[in-house]
Amino acid sequence: MAFLSKGTAMTHKSWKEVLENATDPALASEIDAFETELLLRKQGRIEEKLFAEVRLRRGAYGQRYDNGKRFDGYKTQDIAFPSGGITKGPSTLWDAPGMQRIKIPFGGLFPDQMDVLADLAEEYSDGILHVTTRQDIQLHYVHIDDTPDLMRRLAAIGITTREACGNSVRNVTACPYSGVCKTESFDVTPYAKALAYFLLGHPDTQDFGRKFKIAFSGCRDEACGLTAMHDIGALAVTREVDGKVLRGFELYVGGGLGAVPYQAKLLSDWVPETELLPISQAVCRVFARLGEKKNRARARLKFVIQKLGIEEFKKVVAEERTKLPVDSRWTSFLADLSAAEETPRRDPSLLTISRRPGEFDIWKKTNVRPQRQAGYSVATITLPLGDLTSSQMRALADLARKYVGDNVRATVEQNIVFRWVPDADLPDLYKDLKALHLADPGAGTIVDITACPGTDTCKLGISSSRGLAAELRRDLAAKSAHLDEHVGNLHIKISGCFNACGQHHIADMGFWGVQRKVGGRTVPHFQVVLGGKFEQNAGSNGLAIGAVPSKNIPAVVSRLSTHYAENRTKGERFQDYIDRTGKAKLRALLDDLITVPDNPNYYSDWGDPRVYSIGDLGMGECAGEVVPLAHFGLASAERQVFEGQLLLDQGQANKAAEKAYQAMLVAAEALTRQVFYDVGNSPDEIVREFKKRLCEETTLFHDPFAGDRFSHYLFKVHGSAFTNMELDAAHRRIEEATLFIEAAHACYARMNLPAAAE
Amino acid sequence: MIEPTHASIMEPQRISVKFAFVPPVNVPHASFILFFHRVIQDKLLPETLIDVADYSHVHNGPSVLLIGHEAHYSIDATNGQIGLKCAVKRGLTGSLDERIRRTFDKTLHLANLLTKHESLAGGIQVNTKSAWFSIEDRLAAPNTDLTFSHVAPVLASVATRYWGSQPVLSRLGTAKETFQVDISGADGSECRAPTRTLRLV
């Protein structure tokens, strides 16, 4: 980007052309393919359900009202998007703005990346960047037509949105203090990074029935990694053998929040570092094979483990592990763990007493954490509701360059941390942050509230989680100076519905959105969840004690926190106080707040003056669409034939013919994988296994009328060189490839006939 | 495989205009939210509007946004100066002159509604002595002197029609920021939409 920002010449090039040499060719090719898929969908040549999953796997998510309906407070209005009936998924109109999720593995950011993220928010979104509870960055109100260029600009700075949504391995998270924490076993960063990129696009992670989440933590007792609520939670541990300290992980599996939370179960108390990737791969393969594909509500890994039992699951994973073909990537990253070590921007130094600006100490108390490395600290930049403007992000990038270099991370508490701040620089950093209005104290305290997007932008939101969070934040920040210290340390987390994206189960006080019909009116409510534990990596899940009108939630927080402050025994933590007091008594404490008074104020939600309604709820996309793996292969084949046609139109006969061959190869692979999952990636192997399993041992590919004619279209060009092609010949290859792919579709339908008949 | 869309400074799709409010602004934040909802409910703008977003928790940001298909409108507080911003995102056609005029027309139309609407009780005065102009497209229009040399003649010509005399144009911002220009009326003259230029449909 810098060359453009500082450029002196006018450009009439596209982003694709400008960034061509700055982008990893594989990434560039993926984005080109996605752009073609957009075109094909517009032409109706890809079905909407398949396209929905394609875009979700590129991180392009739907948003509220994208079905073209919105309740305006009086009536439901149609939103007249100009694209008419074109859709980008079931009930999702093409022109409706969407959310772009951007994966940031373990939350690690560089200043140059922060600059580009700021630019993208400004140009394609609404000027706001949102940090999520999975260390992602999200942009809202993005038009689908803008996404290819947006992705190209990210790719040029080493960021991919691939598999940010959909039924895939989501962003791999890790404790933001990894590597600088005083209590960690070791730095989990290189392991998180290695696993994230190993599983990204891996064939074994492409056929999930639901999303899959992975987290890393360096410590057992802190909250940072939240390993207990993940499909795979990796907790760093060490063992001493023959005087040598070995690194490994306690590996937990099958955790998850959602409507019914599950605590992860221990798969193994010792997975050596060399086995982290293969064991994780084996877990993924078991999930792909045994996970539910039809009923999305029971498709997470936790249900596989519930069904099998953890002991049987361990056996199945161990057995799967033995089948894995050796992959050098399992251990290659271990040879250079030091590459992940961070370089401080400045030398360490001590904080001197004389240089402290006003209110600095209040900020330092909650927002600064000394590092293991003497003379350095981690400074937390609290982001209200996880939001910051493009200007703030750009300015933060400059502050990072000034103080910490590349050592910035997004956190699961929706904040940003600067690592390796020399202690003597903390007062200056505070002053610089204050100038940006980013020096609010209270990181990790009761005012640092986590909230999902809720009714603001989510299609499933029932109540305004962000509206409530903003109100509580205002209210508590005003009182913070006088709050009891133990109350100040509580955590509040809010979800707009039961799906728990705001992680309400693991908060001291959690809330999730519901609605109640009262006197003929629909009234926004929140279920009050008490007793969850954020510490010990999301150590326990709370339980709901009753639904309270949204407008009474601030009173709930006030009453519970006051009761806790007044009645806690010495040293008693909130969870213990909840257990000791009992939910019945706590519920009685809130009884009068549960009733909806005769007050119109209660008929609207926080921050939204419209009369409340859930009439315009949409269909959720969180689960994505369950699309069989073969569908992707066949769709990819069709796209490649189309690209071959475009090349032919441009007179590029050799490339067109090669593209036609590749299209057949992709289709053949998709079909072969249906009967032999472990078919390799090499063209020779694909053609050999396709021929053997679909044309010789069986005749699955044979057309009832044309027999084996179509398979020969592939066989005759396999191994050919694509040189000196005439346009006519290339044209025939395109036609043959089209017929081959049609035959592949017919074959796939025949293969699935019994299932379809059921 | 798709033919790339080429960026051209003379055919930008993303143009923004902002008019600051005359301080002090004594209108509660909630009133702006209510106003934007009323704009949707009563179909006060002849374009596709989608929703209202509240970003009041973010400092010096868009504060309250009226999300539209073609443009977003916001009670913008960037740089600490509160005002009405119209950020056109798509749908602009014609010459650069026409594109700039359309953006000005849209902004002035909503500014006019804002000052008169009952929900704001006449609490807003718009300062039309100057305006902030931006092209939010770093590819077509990096914030450079060269871009300014291309855009300024057209912008000056358009602005002269709105201010009645040639205003002063000053390029703003750093190289990292979008291309942006301060437009100030000469001798304190005010921007007024010529009736004939209001072509909003």
Q: Are residues A6 and A142 in the same domain?
A: yes
A122·B9 Cβ contact <8 A: no
A433 contact residues in B (CB cutoff 8 A): none
**Which residue in B41, B48, B55 is closest to A387 by CB distance?**
B55
Based on the domain organization, do A556 and A661 belong to the same domain?
no
Whole-angstrom distance between the N-terminal and C-terminal Cα of chain B?
Answer: 35
Domain span holding position A665: 629-757
* DSSP code of residue B19: E
- Which CATH number does the domain housing residue A292 bear? 3.30.413.10
Residue B93 near chain A (CB below 8 Å): no
Q: Do A39 and B58 touch (CB under 8 A)?
A: no
Whether A254 and A373 map to the same domain: the answer is no
Element (H, E) at A70: strand A69-71
A151 & A51 share domain: yes
Please name the member of A15, A36, A122 whose beta carbon is closest to the beta carbon of B139. A15
A203 to chain B, minimum CA–CA distance in Å?
A: 25
Contacts of A260 (CB under 8 A, 6+ apart): none
Q: How far is B188 from chain A (nearest CA, A)?
A: 30
Strand order in the sheet with A265-272: A173-174, A214-217, A232-241, A244-253, A265-272
Q: In Å, how far is A70's CA from the nearest CA of chain B?
A: 8
Q: Region of A110 please: left (phi>0), alpha (psi -120 to 50) or beta.
A: beta
Nearest C-alpha of chain A: how many angstroms from B6? Answer: 5
Which residue reads 């902002």 in tokens?
A: B18
Q: Is residue A445 in a domain?
A: no
The span from the CA of B65 to the CA of B61, in Å, is 10
Q: Would an 8 Å CB–CB cutoff place B45 in contact with chain A? A: no
Would you say residue B175 lies in a domain? yes
Measured CA to CA, the distance from residue B185 to residue B163 in angstroms comes to 6
* CA distance readout (Å), A635 to A44, A499, A667, A742: 12, 31, 8, 11
Using an 8 Å Cβ cutoff, are A490 and A574 in contact? yes
Partners of B53 on chain A (C-beta within 8 Å) are 126, 140-141, 456-457
Q: Are A320 and A467 in a shared domain?
A: no
A623: pLDDT strictly greater than 80: no
Lowest mean pLDDT, pick from A412-416, A586-590, B61-65: A586-590
In the predicted model, what is the mean pLDDT of residues A5-11? Answer: 45
**Among B2, B18, B180, which would you mutate to test the A interface (most chain A Cβ atoms within 10 Å of its Cβ)?**
B2
Give the closest of B58, B90, B144 to A8, CB-based.
Answer: B144
CB neighbours of residue B195 within 10 Å: 6
| CA-based nearest residue in chain A for residue B54 | A607
Between β-strands B130-135 and B15-20, what pairing exists: parallel, antiparallel or unpaired? antiparallel
CB contact under 8 A, A470 and B59: no
Domain of B127, in residue numbers: 15-197
Least CB–CB distance from B57: residue in A6, A74, A385: A385
Tokens 């009714």: give the residue: A455
Q: Is the pLDDT of residue B112 over 50?
A: yes
CA–CA distances in Å: residue A500 to residues A173, A258, A515, B5, B69: 17, 5, 16, 40, 30
In a domain, A348, yes or no: no
Is A604 a domain residue?
no
Beta strands in chain B (DSSP E): 15-20, 49-55, 63-68, 71-76, 83-88, 130-135, 168-172, 179-184
Indicate whether A681 pLDDT > 80: yes
Sorting pLDDT into bands at 50, 70 and 90, what band is B5? low
Residues 127-146 of B with CB under 8 A from A: 136-140, 142-144, 146
Q: CB distance A7–B144 less than 8 Å?
A: yes
The pLDDT, as a whole number, for residue A707 is 84
Interface check for B61 against chain A (CB to CB < 8 A): the answer is yes
Smallest Cβ–Cβ distance between B2 and the set A39, A389, A438 belongs to A39
pLDDT band at A68 (very low <50, low <70, confident <90, very high): very high
CATH number at residue A380: 3.30.70.3340
Higher pLDDT, B187 or A375: A375
Query: What's the pLDDT tens digit per position in A163-183?
Result: 999 999 999 999 999 999 999
- Mean pLDDT (chain A, rounded): 91
Q: What percent of chain A has a predicted confidence (pLDDT) above 90?
A: 71
Contact yes or no for B142 and A4 at CB 8 A:
yes
Give percent of chain B above pLDDT 70: 93
Distance from CA of A384 to the nearest CA of B (A): 6
Nearest chain A Cα distance for residue B111, angstroms: 20
Determine, yes or no, domain membership for B1. no
Which residue of chain A is at minimal alpha-carbon distance from B149? A10
Nearest CA in chain B to A384: B57
B6 located within any domain = no
Nearest to B2 among A6, A35, A143 (CB): A35
Convert the pLDDT of each residue in A74-91 to its tens digit.
899 999 999 888 999 999
Which chain B residues contact residue A392 at CB under 8 A?
A: 58-61
B2 occurs within a structural domain: no
Residues sharing a CB contact under 8 Å with residue A178, sequence separation 6 or more, in sequence order: A106, A184, A187, A188, A189, A192, A216, A218, A224
Note the helical H segments in A333-374: 360-367
Q: What average pLDDT does this structure show over A506-528?
A: 89
| B181-193 confidence digits (pLDDT tens) | 999 998 888 998 7
pLDDT range class, residue A622, cuts 50, 70, 90: low
Give the CA angle between residues A298, A300, A301 to the nearest 5°.
Answer: 120
Query: Quick check: B40 contacting A, CB < 8 Å?
Result: yes
Closest alpha carbon to A256 in A206, A305, A209: A305
pLDDT digits (tens, 9 = 90+) for A446-503: 999 999 998 889 888 889 999 999 999 999 999 887 888 899 999 999 999 888 889 9
Is A568 within 8 Å of A486 (Cβ atoms)? yes
- For the record, the structure tokens of A114 come out as 């922060």
Kindly tell me if the per-residue pLDDT of A634 is higher than 50: yes
E strand or H helix at A216: strand A214-217
- Asked whether residue B164 is domain-assigned, the answer is yes
Instruction: Give the integer Cα–Cα distance in Å for A60 and B143.
Output: 29
Residue A562 lies in a domain: yes
Domain shared by A421 and A525, yes or no = no
Q: Are residues A252 and A301 in the same domain?
A: yes
Query: Does A285 lie in the same domain as A403?
Result: no
- CA B7, B8, B11, B16 torsion: positive or negative? positive
Q: Among residues A434, A431, A405, which one has the least CA distance to residue A418?
A: A405
**Res A756: pLDDT:** 36
Which of B34, B90, B138 is the closest to A609 by Cβ?
B34
Contact A388, A129 (CB under 8 A): yes
How far is the C-alpha of B14 from the C-alpha of B72, rounded, in Å? 11
pLDDT at A628: 78
Tabulate helix, strand, coil % of chain B (nearest 5): 30, 25, 40
Q: Tell me the mean pLDDT in the region A341-370.
A: 91
Q: What is the number of H-type helices and E-type strands within chain A?
A: 26, 24
CA distance A216 to A280: 12
**Distance from C-alpha of B102 to C-alpha of B200, rounded to nearest angstrom:** 7
Instruction: Please give the ipTM for the structure prediction.
Output: 0.95
Question: For A531-578, how does the pLDDT look when each residue is reduced to its tens digit (9 = 90+)?
Answer: 888 877 677 778 788 889 999 999 999 999 999 999 999 989 999 999
Beta carbons of A502 and A542 less than 8 angstroms apart: no
> Residue A8: its pLDDT value, please?
44
Largest CA distance in chain A: 90
Residues A480 and A154: their CA atoms lie apart, in Å, by 39
Whether the CB-CB separation of B198 and B109 falls below 8 Å is answered with yes
Overall average pLDDT of the A340-362 stretch: 88
Q: Among A549, A575, A596, which residue terminates a domain?
A: A596
Q: Which among A407, A435, A463 is the end of a domain? A: A435
Task: For residue A592, give the amino acid letter.
Answer: D
Q: Are residues A280 and A427 in the same domain?
A: no
Q: Do B41 and A74 touch (CB under 8 A)?
A: yes
- For residues A65 and A195, membership in a common domain is answered with no
Q: Which residues pair with A285 in a beta bridge?
A: none
Query: What is the reported pLDDT for A539?
Result: 73
Q: Looking at residue A710, what DSSP letter applies?
A: H
Residue A2 pLDDT:
33
Is residue B149 less than 8 Å (CB to CB) from chain A? no
Question: How confident is the model at residue A546, as a pLDDT?
Answer: 84
Q: Do A643 and B136 touch (CB under 8 A)?
A: no
Q: Do B136 and A96 touch (CB under 8 A)?
A: no
- Residue entry with tokens 């899940």: A541
Among chain A residues, the shortest Cα distance to B135 is held by A123
Q: Does the distance separating the beta carbons of B50 and A389 come in below 8 Å?
A: no
Domains held by chain B: number: 1
- Tell whether A361 and A242 lie within a shared domain: no
Q: Say yes or no: B186 contacts chain A, CB-CB below 8 A.
A: no
A540: helix, coil or strand?
strand
Contact B1 A646 (CB under 8 A): yes
State how many domains chain A has: 5
First to last CA, chain A: 55
Q: What is the pLDDT of residue B7?
A: 62
Q: What is the chain B residue with the closest CA to A124?
A: B89
Question: Where among A90, A121, A155 does a domain terminate?
Answer: A155
Closest CA to A77 of B66, B40, B73, B45: B40
Residue A658 has phi, psi (to 5 degrees) of -65, -40
Element (H, E) at A192: helix A189-199
**Domain for residue A621, yes or no?**
no
| % chain B with pLDDT above 90 | 82
* B47 SS3 class: coil
Element containing residue A726 per DSSP (H, E): none
B14/A17 Cβ within 8 A: no
Dihedrals φ, ψ of A368, to 5°?
-120, 135
CB contact B199 to A (< 8 Å): no
Provide the 10 A C-beta neighbour count for residue A319. Answer: 11
Q: b/e for A446-482, b at 16 or more Cβ within 10 A?
A: bbbbbbbbbbbbbbbbbbbbbbbbbbbbeebbeebee
Under the banding of pLDDT at 50, 70 and 90, the label for residue B197 is: very low
Q: Are both A499 and A579 inside the same structural domain?
A: yes
Q: Is A26 exposed, middle or buried (0-12, 13-18, 19+ CB in 10 A)?
A: exposed
Q: Of A16, A119, A456, which is closest to B4 when you measure between CB atoms?
A: A16
Contacts of B61 in chain A (CB under 8 A): 127-128, 387, 389, 391-392
CA gap A643, A39 in Å, rounded = 11
Q: Quick one: what percent of chain A has pLDDT higher than 70?
A: 96
- Contact across the interface for A470 and B56, Cβ inside 8 Å: yes
The per-residue DSSP string of B77-121 comes to -GGG--EEEEEE-S---S-HHHHHHHHHHHHHHHHHHHHH-GGGT
pLDDT digits (tens, 9 = 90+) for B38-97: 999 999 999 999 999 999 999 999 999 999 999 999 999 998 899 999 999 999 999 999
Cβ contact, residue pair A72, B41, below 8 Å: yes
pLDDT for the residue numbered A741: 87
Tokens 């395109």 -> residue: A734
CA A687 to chain centre: 36
Lowest mean pLDDT among A255-259, A365-369, A410-414, A574-578: A255-259
